[in-house]
Amino acid sequence: MDSSENQVAHEYIPYFRAYKDGRVERFFGSDRVPPAIDDSDQNGVFSKDVIIVSETGLSARIFIPAAAIKPGQRLPLVVYYHGGGFFMGSPFCSVYNNFVSSLAAKANAIAVSVDYRLAPEHYIPVAYEDSWAALKWVASHCNGQGPEAWLNNYVDFHRVFLAGDSAGGNLVHNVAVQATVEDLNGVKLSGICLIHPFFGRQDGGVDKCWTFVCPTTSGSDDYRINPSVDSRLSSLRCARVLVCIAEKDKLKARGLFYYETLRDSEWAGKVEIAETGGEDHVFHLFNPNSESAVALIEKIASFINQHNAS
C-alpha cells in the first residue's frame, strides 16, 4: 500500500480534505441544482449554464429576472466569483445558486456566476486566469455580437460590477486591477464589491490555505494576497468599491486592511466599508433568510442601484 494513500496534505474541516496521493474530498459545494431555464425560480429569476472556454471547461451560470426579458430592457451586470478558499465551491451548488439568484432579483440585475477551476487539481494562478477569461468573455458581448443572447440583448455595459465573497473577494480585487493593464473591449467597471474578502494578514503573514493552493507563492510580498504591494492599486478602474465585513469573522481584519489600503492609496474613487454586527464569515450563505442576511443583500443591491442613479 502506498504510504501516501491516507496521508492528509490539507484539510479544512468540516468542508474539505486533500490527500498526498492526489485524492480530494469536498463536503461543501459539490451538490448541483439544475438551472431554472424553463420556469423562473422562487425569486422570479431564470438561469442557464454556459460554456465559456471549451478547451478548459470554464463555465458559468447566468441569472436574469423574468420581468427583465422584454424588448428594450437593459439591466446592470454583476460578474460573481464564489468563495471557498480557491479549493471548493461552485455556482451550481444550492448555496451559491440561491444567493446569486437572490442578488439578481434584489438588484434587478443580470448575474454571471463563474465556475473557475479549483486547487489542488488546478493550482493558482489558474483561478485568476479563469476569472479574467470569464470577464473577457462577458465583455465580448458589449457590441451585441457575443455568443450569449441574454448578454447581447439585456445588459447595459455601462453598468458592470464585480462581486464575490471570501476567496471570491480576492478574485474580484485581482481581476479589477488586471483591468487596469488589459483591455476589456471598451467596457469599464462601474464598481466592485468584496464580501468578507480573503487576503494576507496586515502583519505580513499568509495562511497555510494560501500556500496550499499556491505552492509557488513568494509569501507576504505576493501582490495577489497582499494588495498593499500591488503597484496597480492606485490605477483601479472603477469609481466605487464596497467592502463588507462581519464582526465575528476571523477575516474581519483582512477586509479592514484592504479598505484602509485602498482608502489611503492614490486611487481617486470612493471606498465604503459596511460591517454586520454579531455575525461570522459568510453567514449570509448558510442562513439566507436571517435579518442580517437580508440586510446585507439589500446593501449590495443598493450599492449597485445607487451607482446607477448617480
Instruction: Burial-class residue 134 by CB neighbours within 10 Å (0-12, 13-18, 19+).
Output: buried
| CATH 3.40.50.1820 domain range(s) in the chain | 34-309
| 302 among known catalytic residues | no
The number of C-alpha atoms within 13 Å of 64 and in the hemisphere containing its C-beta is: 23
pLDDT for the residue numbered 4: 57
Does the structure show a pLDDT above 70 at 309?
A: no
Q: What is the pLDDT of residue 5?
A: 67
Please name which of 37, 95, 98, 92 lies closest in space to residue 66, comparing C-alpha atoms. 37
What pLDDT digit, counting tens, does each position of 42-85 carry?
A: 999 999 999 999 999 999 999 999 999 888 899 999 999 999 99
- The answer to whether the beta carbons of residues 125 and 175 sit under 8 Å apart is no
What pTM, to 2 d.p., does this model score?
0.96
Among 166, 173, 230, 284, the one annotated catalytic = 166
Dump pLDDT digits (tens) for 270-301. Answer: 999 999 999 999 999 999 999 999 999 999 99
Asked if 41 is an active-site residue, the reply is no
Q: How far is CA 267 from CA 231, 263, 271, 298, 308, in A?
A: 11, 8, 10, 27, 21
Segment 111-138, tens digit of pLDDT? 999 999 999 999 999 999 999 999 999 9
Give the type of residue at 252: K
Of 141, 173, 196, 281, the catalytic one is: 281
| CATH superfamily name and code, 34-309 | Alpha/Beta hydrolase fold, catalytic domain (3.40.50.1820)
230 is catalytic: no
**Catalytically annotated residue among 228, 249, 284, 307:** 249
